[in-house]
Amino acid sequence: MGINNLLKFMKPYVESVHIKKYAGKRVGIDAYSWLHKGAYSCSMEVCLDMEGDKKTRFLQYFMHRIGMLRHYKITPVVVFDGGSIPCKAATEDGRHRKRKTNRDLAMEKLKEGDTDAASELFQRAVNITPQMAHQLIQILRSENVEFVVAPYEADAQLAYLASLETEKGGIVAIISEDSDLLAYNCPAVVFKMDRYGKGEEIILKNAINVAGRKPSFMYFDRELFTGMCILAGCDFLPSVPGIGIVKAYNLVAKYRNLDRVLSVLKLEKGQVVPEDYPTAFRQALAVFQHARVYDAASKKLKPLNPLTPELLQGDNGDLDFLGPDLSPSIAVAIAEGNLNPCTMEAFNHFPQSGYKHSLSYPDSARQLSTQEATGSMQEGCFTVVSCHKTVKKRIRGDMPLDGIKSSSEGEHMTVISEEVLHESETSALKKLGFPFRNEAFVQKEPAPLRSTPNIPSNNPFKKRKIDDEVQLNEAMSTAEQASEVTEVEKPEIFTATQKSEESIDSKLIKPKGKRIGEKLLKQSNPKHVSSKVCSILNFFSRV
């Protein structure tokens, strides 16, 4: 993730800091990095989409850190990834394949009964889904934590916020693990921040155009710095074989002009430089400089930096490599966390699961340790049947909970949805004694279920692909069902812990629909994309 070896190369500019230096300021958070770290503590539960309190640990991890920032009087602004842009498709596919391989291996180990090896592999297979991000968003809403879902890259959105004044919603620094932020020219990035707020910071203006330290960026400007990052290899474009961060730096420092660097590269490396490298390079540069971001003031998308006449004229003004433009209504719905940017489906509002309201930082820290000490809060869970809107509101916390009928005989169960597993995996897990969702329904609640499509996807809102019109139509029809579901009252099944009177410890269990999350928008063919995106947009403007 990020720029190859950039952080190592920038070591002389790294300073140890404590996040409290930003007391009274607004600080941006790259949600993906904390979601991912948080998911380590429940990787198997996340990978197998199991139900249960343990799975919500990633939420606790996240909110603990939010609490810590608030403790130091920092205003956190959480930024989520949206869809992925075309030139990142190769990177995304590679990651997806690796995760799948690890998950398959983990399942094998699990079948063999080697749970240690399995959990290690599950950790490498962890993937943050839009549903997980949405769960977090609901908690952020209830805790009044500011957030925004980027139309595409969270990094670009963070860079945009960093360019705004505080009064206009700007942020002064960013907490992340992704070195891409430096390529986006973010002014201050805190990496490797621990749970106490200690981290390592790079402030770009201490490097660019400043003499003294080595490597010196004395005659660099922001564009040259970004160019150096791309040459070294980034998520959008792998580096030319034989070129790493050091050679990239030397080329840029020597020629101080990116076009010249590309010419020299071709001269020196010849055939090794792919035919379309200069074009791909310029597109990558354009992404870092002009990525589409959400502008909260105008409530629509805009480029990170104003588009240049060259960009508007070149390639017939086709800017789809930045990710397709989105209509303002779609952009707002995505930014505010109401529309899944991968599937373009409305998120179904369902109560947060098993997550206890976060408290102030020291309190929440204490609470976490108390939970560990007492073993679990999972005993004596109950199941709420036939929930209607009013009950849902109550469980969400919008209304008091009194009067809800509950069946107290149910015990807490870890439930796995069979749809995400192969048949052999299912039977192996059953042998190991894991209960499954469907079984849970059969055993406990034969109540009718209306399915809402719940689409597993691979990144926190990433992956957009569609194979053909048929699948697009499938997406449309399931999305149509989803919008019906949000409007029509119908029986649904909830589980909630018995101790949840004042909390939001409840969960809507819903069967899974078709797996279309990875089939929206074919990235490899931008022209293909336009017509389909267009029909998606038309569809949603109707909704």
Partner DNA sequence: GCAGCGTTAATAT
Partner DNA sequence: TTAACGCTGC
H-type helices in 277-341, by residue range?
A: 277-290, 309-313, 328-335
Question: Could you tell me which stretch among 45-53, 245-253, 340-348, 397-405 binds DNA (CB under 7 A)?
Answer: 245-253
- The residues in 181-200 that bind DNA, with binding defined as CB under 7 A, are 194-195
Residues 6+ apart with CB under 8 A from 411: 379, 380, 381
Nearest to 536 by CA among 301, 334, 344: 344
Q: Cα dist. 520→466, 474, 475, 529 in Å?
A: 4, 10, 8, 9
Binding track over 362-401 against DNA, x by CB under 7 A: ------x---x-----------------------------
Minimum CB distance to DNA, residue 543 (Å):
33
> Beta-strand (E) ranges in 61-208?
75-80, 146-149, 173-175, 188-191, 198-203
Q: Which amino acid is at 413?
A: M
Between 247 and 512, name the residue whose CB sits nearer to DNA: 247
Rounded CA-CA distance 107/180 in Å is 33
Phi, psi for 294 (deg, rounded to 5): -95, 130
Contact flag: residue 243 with DNA (CB under 7 A) = yes
Minimum CB distance to DNA, residue 194 (Å):
7
Between 250 and 451, name the residue whose CB sits nearer to DNA: 250
Query: What's CA 292's distance to the chain center, in Å?
Result: 17
- The residues in 349-368 that bind DNA, with binding defined as CB under 7 A, are 368
Minimum CB distance to DNA, residue 506 (Å):
22
Nearest to 452 by CA among 507, 514, 390: 514
Q: Which amino acid is at 279?
A: T
Contact flag: residue 490 with DNA (CB under 7 A) = no
Q: Cα dist. 186→3, 149, 176, 237 in Å?
A: 14, 18, 11, 20
Contact flag: residue 40 with DNA (CB under 7 A) = yes
Question: Could you tell me which stretch among 2-10, 289-297, 354-362, 395-403 binds DNA (CB under 7 A)?
Answer: 2-10
Pairing of strands 173-175, 339-340: unpaired
Q: Cα dist. 435→115, 384, 421, 504 in Å?
A: 17, 19, 13, 24
Residue 15: strand, helix, or coil:
strand
β-sheet bridge partners, residue 77: 28, 146
Nearest to 234 by CA among 85, 457, 28, 35: 85
Between 4 and 478, name the residue whose CB sits nearer to DNA: 4
Between 95 and 532, name the residue whose CB sits nearer to DNA: 95
Minimum CB distance to DNA, residue 370 (Å):
11
Contact flag: residue 70 with DNA (CB under 7 A) = no
Contact flag: residue 278 with DNA (CB under 7 A) = no
Between 52 and 453, name the residue whose CB sits nearer to DNA: 52
Contact flag: residue 84 with DNA (CB under 7 A) = no
Interacting residue with DNA among 170, 244, 435, 511 (CB under 7 A):
244
Contact flag: residue 242 with DNA (CB under 7 A) = yes
Contact flag: residue 523 with DNA (CB under 7 A) = no
Structure tokens at 127: 């993937």
Minimum CB distance to DNA, residue 281 (Å):
16
Between 86 and 199, name the residue whose CB sits nearer to DNA: 199
Question: Could you tell me which stretch among 35-43, 149-157, 254-262, 288-296 binds DNA (CB under 7 A)?
Answer: 35-43
Calculate the dihedral angle through the C-alpha atoms of 47, 48, 52, 56, rounding to the nearest 10 degrees. Answer: 10
Interacting residue with DNA among 13, 61, 80, 436 (CB under 7 A):
61
Contact flag: residue 37 with DNA (CB under 7 A) = yes
Binding track over 88-117 against DNA, x by CB under 7 A: -------x--xx------------------
Within 13 A of 51's CA, how many CA atoms are on the CB side? 27
Q: Which amino acid is at 524?
A: S
Minimum CB distance to DNA, residue 357 (Å):
17
- The residues in 149-168 that bind DNA, with binding defined as CB under 7 A, are none
Minimum CB distance to DNA, residue 99 (Å):
5
Between 41 and 406, name the residue whose CB sits nearer to DNA: 41
Interacting residue with DNA among 48, 171, 245, 311 (CB under 7 A):
245
Contact flag: residue 41 with DNA (CB under 7 A) = yes
Query: Are 410 and 495 in contact, with CB atoms under 8 Å apart?
Result: yes
Minimum CB distance to DNA, residue 205 (Å):
22
Interacting residue with DNA among 115, 123, 216, 367 (CB under 7 A):
123
β-sheet bridge partners, residue 146: 77
Interacting residue with DNA among 22, 27, 29, 38 (CB under 7 A):
38
Between 199 and 337, name the residue whose CB sits nearer to DNA: 199
Work out the number of other CB atoms within 10 angstroms of the CB of residue 446: 9
Percentages helix, strand, coil for the chain (3-state, rounded to 5) are 50, 10, 40
Residue in the structure block whose two tokens are 């139509």: 473
Residue in the structure block whose two tokens are 């996040």: 19
User: Interface with DNA by CB under 7 A: which residues?
Assistant: 1-2, 7-8, 37-38, 40-41, 57, 60-61, 64, 95, 98-99, 120, 123-124, 177, 179, 194-195, 239, 241-248, 368, 372
